[in-house]
Copies of this chain bind each other. A is one copy, B any other.
Amino acid sequence: MPEKSITLLEVAALVSGELIRGNPEGYIDGVQTLAKASGLQATFLSNRKYKADLETTQAALVLLSEKDEVPEGSKFAVIKLANPYVGFALLQQYFHPLKTSSGTIHPSAVIHESVRIAENVQIDAHVCIDADVEIAANVVIGSGCVIGAGCVIGETSILHPRVVIEKGSILGKRVIIQSGTVIGSDGFGYAWSGSDFIKIPQVGNVILEDDVEIGANTCVDRGAIEDTIIRAGAKLDNLIQIAHNVDIGERSALAGQSGFAGSTVIGKGCQFGAQSGVAGHLKLVDGSIVGAKAGVIGDIKEPGMVSGFPAVPHRHWLKASALFDRLPVIWDKIKRLG
């Protein structure tokens, strides 16, 4: 059900690319994968795994990188650009703009009288908003969300259904949170008296800066004393654990099921693979890359990739892992030698 279209010339401008082949006035009406595109749909080549599909694609337009060759005998239009994946993202945004506020507040929402709500805010059914919350313009709050006292939700932020934002949390502009995520739960803080755990009240807050996005069923604990901070543009996937007082640097990307123990400070532009973990009270330099399932137990002082548990430089881990697999052979050899 295409509802929109765009000419090839407009696509080239949108993605900052060059129309190499095809009619500038021709148009496309959607985006699909190389294998599935047909009719007036555009597609792109980014992951080399799918290169063979370029030979057979039925797409009307393909976004290619500057070095990609156009297959002989192919008929599709071609736009070349620096990064076809970015072009694809921009084109998808054209066809599928982000959800915007309907500007309506459902009567079943329970909103404390002290809450300040700016213009054009959407609040869906069964939402609860406690005292002194401040909601900026164009915010969308999905069904069943609960927002605790004193929270601030910045402009154009989107909370999917059933998100909980505990008291005192501060969300910047254009923050997006998927369903089921909990922001501001108590950190896991107890002092052992010798016979009992004594709960340490968790009195810090959570700050999510502008353009932070968080997946589904993720947990960001409130700080113990100071705040837990996710800095501007950081992206978090699903089912992630952010413990109290963690500080995630700008534009860092955290994959699903990764975990970050208390008071750890992550630099800018870091990347974390799925199911990776970082111990508490560590510092990871800007540009740290942590492989899937890795476990970091010491500071990272140089940018680059680490893997394994305890994490070591990635190349190192690759070599050692290959040999782990050969331990029985090594052992046999040693027995023969010795």
Contact = CB atoms under 8 A, between A and B. Distances in A.
Contacts of A279: 292
Contacts of A328: 316, 319-320, 323
Interface size class of A (residues with CB under 8 A): 35 or more
A33 B85 contact: no
Interface stretch (A64-72, A115-123, A184-192): A184-192
A334 to B, nearest CB: 6
A20 interface: no
A146 B162 contact: yes
Interface string A218-233: 1101000110000001
Contacts of A297: 292
Given A88-B200, A193-B86, A277 B251 contact: no
A259 B275 CA distance: 8
Interface stretch (A21-29, A53-61, A89-97): A89-97
B336 A49 contact: no
Contacts of A243: 256
Contact of A239 (B88, B239, B324): B239
Contacts of A95: 201, 203
B128 A128 contact: no
Interface of A: 31-33, 36, 47, 49, 83, 85-86, 88-90, 92-93, 95-98, 106, 108, 110, 124-126, 128, 142-144, 146, 148, 160-162, 164, 166, 176, 178-182, 185-186, 188-194, 196-201, 203, 213, 215-219, 221, 225-226, 233, 235, 237-239, 241, 243, 251, 253, 255-257, 259, 261, 274-275, 277, 279, 281, 292-293, 295, 297, 308-310, 312, 316, 319-321, 323-328, 330-331, 333-334, 336-338
18 contacts: A33-B225, A47-B281, A93-B201, A96-B203, A128-B144, A164-B179, A178-B186, A186-B215, A188-B215, A188-B238, A217-B217, A239-B239, A241-B256, A274-B277, A275-B295, A320-B326, A320-B328, A334-B337
